């Protein structure tokens, strides 16, 4: 029997939503307690059970614990961060530079998630009209890992301020493999109640109702109430 | 106090993993029962609480219930599906064509998730070195929605076999907005115990251990056991 109807109960659903809504992007809150390998393997396995286009499972996971490698990644961040700061309007630069945007060295574990676009050949079910869907599958693995980590009370920060050529050189990633995300992972002192950039006034949370369309862009045939956050 | 340490308990974690591991890509299993708007809003709100680069929240959600629009999307699928079939090697074409790859018309709800790359201006925290990260944020919203739907016992199918120009024309999506995913959503008769393409012998599940690297690509300093699936 290949089919099942495994029901998620109301209590289980509440636990799921609690996990989802309390997930944060973690930068300055890491503690240096080691992450047990058993837990690390659970969140990697959760990532591996993300959906993937044509079931190609295009991801790989590079687990980084070496302080030496973290130091090199941090240097790569610093170079890209300096370039980035110069791009912001003058009145935003000070605030941009005041943010702590990564926990590369403090977090006990780093995980680089990559995409091998040729893993199952050139023709992939579901990728034929939209070649980017394999990259998107690897992003689904990132989000599965992130939520699974939160269920383990681990913080995760997606550190995207580094050039991929730099990351590939440091980690020895082959030319044809695409880095998707570099994540910093560890236990934390606390989780922010709101996203840090919202809390600190960088940008507000948009009202959900402003993002909804019905049967076509901006054809609003009705307007549902925003739900309360759980 | 902006900080909290909301602990996820062992029981809550088990509920989270149950949801994650029982999520499937749903195509032929939809029932036509309506999805209550209250539930629809919960899964949309879950999507809206995905992580986004620089907190830009670049997503919009086009909810499709109109049978007429679904019919046009189905026609778009059929055209792209026919093109796709011709790309597979001769010995794979019959099997490819035997798969049911979408539930566009049967699913009571469709949701198109898009990305507005210019939502918060040209310079976005965290996007400076990697411009694709806004698209990836919208994919995180897809995965949040998909898991939230599973927690509501709803099936979701990501239907990627359609050209974006076609989808944009049908839904009236502006030129500068990027479609990320078109999802079919509804209650289901059952969920497969394994991914359908695995069950039907298209591709096997890869061993997690074959996807793990330690401190650099293929530098395996140790080998942990694969965990059991929960």
> Quick check: B181 pLDDT over 50?
yes
Within-domain flag for A204: no
3 state SS of A156: strand
What pLDDT is stored for residue A229 in this prediction?
A: 40
The average pLDDT across B157-172 equals 98
What pLDDT is stored for residue B220 in this prediction?
A: 56
Mutate to test the interface with A, among B130, B132, B170 (most CBs of A within 10 A): B130
Q: Among A56, A129, A227, whose Cβ lies nearest the Cβ of B42?
A: A227
Searching chain A, which residue's CA lies closest to the CA of residue B192?
A: A3
> Quick check: B57 pLDDT over 50?
yes
ipTM of model over 0.85? yes
Within-domain flag for B155: yes
Per the structure, the complete domain to which residue B84 belongs is given by: 25-189
Residue B158 main-chain phi, psi, to 5 deg: -90, 110
Cα–Cα distance measured from residue B50 to residue B13, given in angstroms and rounded to the nearest whole number: 19
The average pLDDT across A10-35 equals 97
Domains held by chain B: number: 1
What pLDDT is stored for residue B29 in this prediction?
A: 97
Q: Which percentage of chain A shows pLDDT scores above 70?
A: 93
Q: Which percentage of chain B shows pLDDT scores above 90?
A: 91
> Quick check: A191 pLDDT over 80?
yes
Domain containing A56 — which CATH number? 3.40.109.10
CB contact at 8 A, B207 and B226: yes
> Quick check: A77 pLDDT over 90?
yes
What pLDDT is stored for residue B219 in this prediction?
A: 63
Within-domain flag for B180: yes
Burial class (CB in 10 A: 0-12, 13-18, 19+), B131: exposed
Within-domain flag for B179: yes
CB contact at 8 A, B59 and B132: no
Q: B227–A7: do the CB atoms touch at under 8 Å?
A: no
User: Which tens digits make up the pLDDT trace of A34-58?
Assistant: 999 999 999 999 999 999 999 999 9
pTM exceeds cut of 0.90 = yes
Q: B101–A125: do the CB atoms touch at under 8 Å?
A: yes
C-alpha R_g of chain B: 20
The average pLDDT across B48-59 equals 98
Q: What is the DSSP string of A94-117?
A: HHHHHS----TTTSSEEEEEEEET
The answer for residues whose C-beta is within 8 angstroms of residue A116's C-beta and 6 or more apart is A58, A59, A60, A176, A177, A178
User: Which tens digits make up the pLDDT trace of B118-143?
Assistant: 999 999 999 999 999 999 999 999 99
Instruction: For chains A and B, count residue pairs whose Cβ atoms are closer than 8 Å.
Output: 355
Within-domain flag for B229: no
> Quick check: B51 pLDDT over 90?
yes
Within-domain flag for B87: yes
Q: Among A11, A87, A144, whose Cβ lies nearest the Cβ of B128?
A: A87
Higher-pLDDT residue of B114 and B227 is B114
């Amino acid at each position: 029997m290949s089919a099942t109807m495994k029901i998620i109960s109301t209590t289980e659903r509440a636990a799921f939503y609690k996990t989802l809504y309390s997930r944060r992007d973690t930068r300055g809150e890491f503690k240096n307690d080691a992450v047990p390998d058993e837990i690390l393997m659970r969140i990697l396995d959760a990532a591996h059970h993300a959906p993937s286009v044509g079931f190609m499972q295009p991801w790989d996971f590079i687990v980084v614990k070496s302080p030496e490698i973290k130091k090199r990644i941090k240097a790569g961040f610093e170079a890209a961060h300096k370039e980035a700061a110069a791009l912001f309007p003058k009145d935003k630069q000070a605030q941009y530079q005041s943010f702590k945007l990564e926990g590369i060295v403090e977090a006990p574990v780093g995980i680089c998630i990559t995409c091998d676009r040729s893993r199952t050949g050139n023709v992939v079910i579901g990728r034929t009209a939209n070649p980017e869907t394999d990259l998107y599958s690897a992003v689904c693995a990132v989000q599965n890992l992130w939520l699974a980590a939160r269920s383990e009370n681990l913080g995760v920060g997606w550190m995207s301020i580094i050039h991929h050529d730099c990351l590939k050189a440091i980690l020895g990633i082959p030319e044809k493999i695409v880095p998707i995300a570099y994540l910093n992972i560890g236990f934390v002192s606390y989780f922010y109640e709101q996203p840090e950039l919202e809390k600190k006034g960088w940008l507000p949370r948009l009202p959900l109702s402003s993002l909804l369309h019905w049967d076509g862009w901006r054809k609003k045939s009705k307007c549902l109430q925003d739900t309360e956050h759980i």
